[in-house]
Amino acid sequence: MTRGKLQDRVAIVTGGASGIGRAIALRFAREGARVALLDISEQSADAVASEITEDGGSASAFRCDVAQWPEVHTTFRAVQERFGQLDVLVNSAGIAHIGTVETTTDEDFDRIFAVNVKGVFHCMKAAVETMKDRGGVILNIASVVSSIGIPDRFAYTMSKGAVLTMTYSVARDYVDHGIRCNSVSPARVHTPFVDGYLARNYPGREAEMFETLSRTQPIGRMGRPDEVAGLALFLCSDEAAFITGSNFPIDGGFLTLK
């Protein structure tokens, strides 16, 4: 019998109800993980969990606002009561914002910070509490904007820069506890968020703008969520046992070939 790369491991995937988080949850479950999908949309997370269980996998959905520490702490305990000790955490929950430093309001900045920075902080804090005596893997979804500036993304860039440096810090502090912590940095990935953004901002021109955004990657297209999930699987598996404190662009050449 072939065992999956994450066989019988307990994995939490935040933002697991859609996009990259959903793709990672599906891939991990196919590789034998018991997956807890944490999302602010319990209904959508339930749908993904059902998709996994109908395919023979193991998954449960948990409503959780990662910006709220009491919710995170309680939910992580509930996951471990349901599945057992945590082995893998993927921080995929995040929100976007368009604007420069001038057009970003205090409310905009605080909202992005609460989810994209404090949310990752809260979940890593909860994970480390249980992992530090037995080891584990943390993977954070950062972005190419962690390393390079792009127009009109001031608050989002701030938040993803923080995700990258928090990754380095946790990797350094807990390497002696057997915890590996890495990040991946996608460029544009075709998710429902992209489709919604185009529909809101370019009604009637969605196809045209989709091609324009796709061409910003030198490879000529957007990434697919399943491609990010493949990299996430590698980094969270034993195949990557010698990798910690590293960031992996998955960007169609965006950072190096522009």
- Residue 184's beta-bridge partner residues? 141, 248
Q: E-strand spans in 47-164?
A: 58-63, 88-91, 136-141
What is the structure's pLDDT at 258? 73
Q: Which helix (H) or strand (E) covers residue 10, if one does?
A: strand 10-14
- Note if 156 is an active site residue: yes
Considering the candidates 156, 168, 174, 202, report the single residue annotated as catalytic: 156
What's the token pair of residue 55?
A: 């395919």
What is the structure's pLDDT at 201? 85
CA 11, CA 71: separation in Å to the nearest integer? 18
pLDDT digits (tens, 9 = 90+) for 102-142: 999 999 999 999 999 999 999 999 999 999 989 999 999 99
What is the structure's pLDDT at 197? 85
Write the DSSP symbol of residue 225: H
Backbone CA torsion sign across 193, 194, 195, 198: positive
CA 36, CA 49: separation in Å to the nearest integer? 8
What is the structure's pLDDT at 243? 98
What's the token pair of residue 246?
A: 């590293």
What is the structure's pLDDT at 102? 98
Domain formed by 10-187+223-250, architecture: 3-Layer(aba) Sandwich (3.40)
What is the structure's pLDDT at 3? 81
Contact 123, 51 (CB under 8 A): no
Q: Please give the backbone phi and psi of residue 173, each rounded to the nearest 5 degrees, phi first.
A: -70, -25
Q: Please give the backbone phi and psi of residue 17, each rounded to the nearest 5 degrees, phi first.
A: -85, -15
Backbone CA torsion sign across 5, 93, 207, 254: negative
User: What is the residue type of 237?
Assistant: S
List, for the chain, all residue ranges whose pLDDT scores fall below the cut of 50: 1
What's the token pair of residue 73?
A: 């702490």
What is the structure's pLDDT at 2? 60
Contact 137, 87 (CB under 8 A): yes
Write the DSSP symbol of residue 2: P
Write the DSSP symbol of residue 220: S
What is the structure's pLDDT at 118? 98
CA 194, CA 197: separation in Å to the nearest integer? 5
What's the token pair of residue 81?
A: 């009561």
Q: Which of 85, 9, 84, 30 is nearest to 238 (CA)?
A: 9
Write the DSSP symbol of residue 250: E
